[in-house]
Amino acid sequence: MIDVDYYLPGCAPPPDLIMDAVTAILSGELPPKGSVLAPSKSLCDECDRNDSKPDKIEIKELKRPHLTFMDPEKCFLAEGVICMGPATRAGCGQRCIGANMPCRGCFGPTDGVKDHGAKFLSALASLVDINDPEEMEKLVDSIPDPSGLSYMYSLPTSLLTRKRLEKQKV
């Protein structure tokens, strides 16, 4: 792994974050090395759809974005569409959400999260409202590639990869 001075998240990073980073460099007001130059709150914290989110989201079925109508005013998770907003860093300008597509996690985790994919899976599991094991299995099977989805941008830094690499060294 290569140590870097600062991380500027995004695919591609938005112009305002680039400008903020350049301004910080020029002014000499930089955070500690290794910091991510973006807000540390989650995307859900700044999402325009928060007003439509119920107090408690209870997912009974998962819907694929291309197979369902997604109301451009409603929270994706409240509609049963997987959105990585609860586990993803804010600062992207809600580009995907503004295009009526759920977040896929390109800004990575907030500060203090060791494994972005595990954080997302934990958040999703806390919203599932199913007690029947067969129904739960059906729900899990409705996600074609859970690890690909939850680790789309973070697999190289995941705990899964570290464990695999540790086993290879032995």
pLDDT-derived band at 169, boundaries 50, 70, 90: low
Quick one: CA dihedral 109, 114, 116, 119, positive or negative?
negative
Q: Which residues pair with 42 in a beta bridge?
A: 89
Is residue 165 scored above 60 in pLDDT? no
Quick one: CA dihedral 81, 11, 13, 116, positive or negative?
positive
Report residue 161: phi and psi, to 5°.
-65, -40
Buried b (16+ CB within 10 A) or exposed e, 71-85: eeeebbbbbbbbbbb
Query: Residue 21, preceding bond cis, omega within 30 degrees?
Result: no
Task: Tell me the C-alpha distance between 149 and 19, whole Å.
Answer: 30
pTM over 0.95? The answer is no
Residue 108's alpha-carbon distances to 65, 115, 132, in angstroms, are 21, 10, 33
Mean pLDDT of the chain: 90
Q: What is the tens place of the pLDDT at every residue in 116-125? A: 999 999 999 9
Is residue 96 scored above 90 in pLDDT? yes
Q: What is the tens place of the pLDDT at every residue in 12-54? A: 899 999 999 999 999 999 999 989 999 999 999 999 998 889 9
User: What mean pLDDT do residues 109-133 have?
Assistant: 92
Tokens of 119: 């954080």
User: What mean pLDDT do residues 86-94 have?
Assistant: 94
Q: What is the tens place of the pLDDT at every residue in 135-164? A: 999 999 999 888 888 888 888 788 877 655
